[in-house]
Each structure stands twice: as structure tokens, then as C-alpha cells.
A = this chain, B = another copy of it.
Amino acid sequence: MHGTELVRVDATGLDLPAAFAHARATGGAALRALSYAQRAALLQQVVAVLQSHRADYEAISVANSGTVKSDTAIDVDGAIYTLATYAKLGATLGDSLGGARVLRDGEPARLAKDALFQAQHLQVPTRGLALFINAFNFPAWGLWEKAAPALLSGVPVVVKPATATAWLTQRMVKDVVDAGVLPAGALSIVCGSSAGLLDALEPFDVLSFTGSAETAAVLRRHDAVAVRSVRVNIEADSLNSALLLPGEAPDGAAVELLVKEVAREMTVKSGQKCTAIRRVLVPEALYGPVAEALSARLARTTVGDPRHETVRMGALVSRAQLAAVREGLGLLRTQTELLHDGASHALVGADPAVACCVGPTLLGTREPDAAARVHDTEVFGPVATLVAYRDLPHALALAERGQGSLVASVYGSDPAALGAAAATLAASHGRVHVVSPDVAASHTGHGNVMPQSLHGGPGRAGGGEELGGLRALNFYHRRAAVQASTAVLDALG
């Protein structure tokens, strides 16, 4: 934001194999010795530690990420809410398990005519560690949304945050380690270079990555994954859509909800959310009215220093990101028209030569079939493209041209049409968020990732699955079938 140096990170000289061995042997064994209920209680203690330091985290976030306080809340309070949700889910699970250390997966299935011999599937915590290589945009939530299900599963965590915002992640880990609420070795952090991290992974470890598709491909080709079968979860690029169904009036409630949500998604965290809306699909007849309403709303967004009271949208995270956004905008501009120009926003309390600020920019195209870049260039900033579609099949096909996305939101007032569109979009999106007038006040937002719902998407989005309530535990467990007599199945623990 101000170009001043805040903190330095350095990972040179670390003995990663020894650190990983400590995490597996000491941290993993201690966690696995606990029941699910006991591990859930640990998560609740982590919540208390983080809450007690919240003011520090907000200060670090505003200084380092350059975003406004409400954006910090999404990251920090989102992290605490997710942890608390898993503490609660884990407590309920623990109640049903009565101290068991393995999860039974389904009922026993008969294998022989004689019912004495059956198959019982189990989910057993993996004996390795969980390595998280995280993105810069959620230094708090990005750690805890992964660590909560990992720790609840009994799997120790090593996090490697993106260097640009590693400060907040490091502080949180340090506070939790200093508080002594987790067993030794259960939570570790590596700041700085990622060199050597994957070399130290072993077959029972798991790897979760959030970031670019390019880096994801490098990780997937590493021996750890390609040869040693380390289980990997990827969350990468995504060209998310907002889709206004056909048949809505230009001044109707659905259009109003769409405009409000798109403007919010473009500006929250300055558009630096992998779930943000990048493409806005509307019927051709509504292209003009929506362009006008959206541009008017965006024009009211004050941009600048997040510490300034009137500012609603802060900065991008770095000059490098600013350059990347400008480059992406240039690419999109070759195939779109400019509907609202971010450059028209005067910065409040920020020097354009130093600050990484950019105003919200709305592009548009009436010929989306020819505008390939709109469907494959993710500009990671406050930028979206309005797209005119002919009919519903055309709209659904355009959404699918994202080649797999994290989330699509659908706007309309007919439950049957919304349900049918959602079921179709579900094949190519990890999450479908449906906004109808009856949930105008209660829906949780296109881009907000709720711990109850799956987070991830097929294809370009990386093919991963995070969260989704207790479904998140699958990634940290190994499934096995035990074929045995009834007496042995009763003794599985």
C-alpha cells in the first residue's frame, strides 16, 4: 500500500526431512492417540487463542494485504468461524463414535452365502502429514479451512504460506504454538522458499495446494505425486459465472439481486478471491439495462487507503499483482468493450505511483462465442465481463466454457427453472449458489466459502474438494475394506 518494508521471511538452512519426520512421528502419533471428540475440543481451544489476538491480526492484515477491515473480517473471522464449525461437527461426530479411533464407512456388506463373513469399510487417519502450500489472498482462512479438518482427522499440519502475506499466517501459528494447546509437532510453518518441501514428502503424506494452474502442474509432475502417489488436492484458476435466467424483468427483483451481488463480488478483497465472479451471463435483451445498473453501482465505490474512513475498496496485494491485473485487462480489452472504467476512480489517500490500487472495471461482450479470452483469462482483481447470451442452452454452454469452475451463481424467481439450471451446472462447478427473492436477505453470498459446502471445482479449477462439512475428513483418511467374521468386525475399535 505504502511501499514500506513490513517484515522479512527466510527458509534457508531448514532441515525439512527432520522437521517432517518430527511432525509425523511426534505430532501424528499424539493426535491419533486422541479421539475425534478430544481433537474437536482442541480446535475449540485454537479458536479461543485466535480470538484473543484478533486485534493484532486485523492490524497485520490491513498493513500487509492493503484491504479494508470488512475484507480482513472475511479472512480472519472466516478462519475462526470455520474452525468453530469443525469443532462443533467434530464434537457431534465424537458423540456418535463413543471414543472410537477409526470411522466406519457404511454398513457391513455380505460377501458369502453365509452371513458370518462380511466386508466393513473403514476410514482410518493417514499416517503421514498434511502439507499446505497456500495462496496470498487468504493468509488466515487459507490455513485454518485446511488445518481444521486435518487436525480433527488426527493428521499433523505443515503450512507454507505465500511469501507476500506470510506474516499473518506465521503470527497465528506462533500464537497457537506458544499457547501450547496442540501436541508438539501437530502444527508447523515454513516461510519463504518452497524448495525441498515436496522432496521430503512420503507416500502417506497428503498435499493441498491453492494457487495458479501453472504451479499446480509442476507439483503434479513432481516425484512425490507422480511416483510416490502422495494424495494431492488442487484449487487453481477459475472463471466463475453469475447467470441471470431468462424471463426476468429488467426492473425485477432478480436483476436487482444480480447487480448487487456482482458489484459486491468484484470489489470485496479488491476482486482477489478465487471464487469471485468473472463472467456475468445475461439475456441479450437485458445486456444494456444490467450494464447501466452495474456501472452506476460500481461508480460509487471509493478506492484507496483502507485506513481511510470513506474507502470501500483497498489495494491489491503487491505491485506485481497490479502489473498482472493490468496485463490481464489488456488481454480482455482486445475482445470486449469497456462498460465501466476503473481508471475513472480517483484514489483516496493513496499515491498512484506507489499504491497497488485499481478501480473496479466492467467489460462486456455481445459476441461471447468469439471472445475466447473471456472464458479462459482469469484477471485476479476487481474486473468482470458482462456477457449476452441467446437462450438458456447457450448460457449453460458459456458457463461450461470455463472448463470447470469453483462456483456459479444463478438468479431468478422460478424455483423449477433454478433447480434445473443448478443441477446442470453442478456437473462443471464445485458449488452452485442460487439467489431467488425469497432468500434475498438470508443467502450467504456467491463468493463466501461456507464450511458446510464443498469448495473446489473440476477441470481448470484443479479438481479438488475441500470443506463440505465432514466430507473434508475424507482427504485425510485412508479408506479400506476389512473382510472378516462378525466377531472380528465387532473388534475393529
Which positions in A face B, CB cutoff 8 Å?
A: 101-102, 106, 109-114, 116-117, 119, 121-122, 124-127, 203-204, 213, 216-217, 220-221, 223, 225-229, 231, 234, 236, 400, 403-404, 415-416, 418-420, 422-423, 425-434, 436, 438-439, 441-444, 450, 452-454, 458-463, 465, 468-469, 471, 478-485, 487-493
Contacts and interface: CB of A to CB of B under 8 A. Distances in A.
Count identical subunits in the complex: 2
Contacts of A216: 226
Contact of A436 (B114, B436, B485): B485
Contacts of A113: 442
Given A122-B426, A432-B481, A404 B204 contact: yes
A426 B102 CA distance: 10
B227 A469 contact: no
A432 B220 contact: no
A370 B48 CA distance: 49
A461 B229 CA distance: 8
Contacts of A400: 127
Given A124-B426, A221-B226, A444 B483 contact: yes
A231 B234 CA distance: 12
B111 A453 contact: yes
5 contacts: A106-B469, A111-B444, A418-B484, A419-B484, A423-B492
Contacts of A422: 482, 484, 488, 492
B231 A220 contact: no
A117 B442 contact: yes
Contacts of A462: 229
Contact of A420 (B204, B225, B236, B491): B491
A419 B479 contact: no
A203 B404 contact: yes
A475 to B, nearest CB: 12
Contact of A121 (B119, B444, B471): B471
B459 A419 contact: no
A482 B216 CA distance: 26
B227 A213 contact: yes
Nearest to A109: B452
A376 to B, nearest CB: 12
A483 B423 contact: no
A484 to B, nearest CB: 4
B127 A428 contact: yes
A305 to B, nearest CB: 33
Contacts of A479: 430, 454, 465, 468, 471
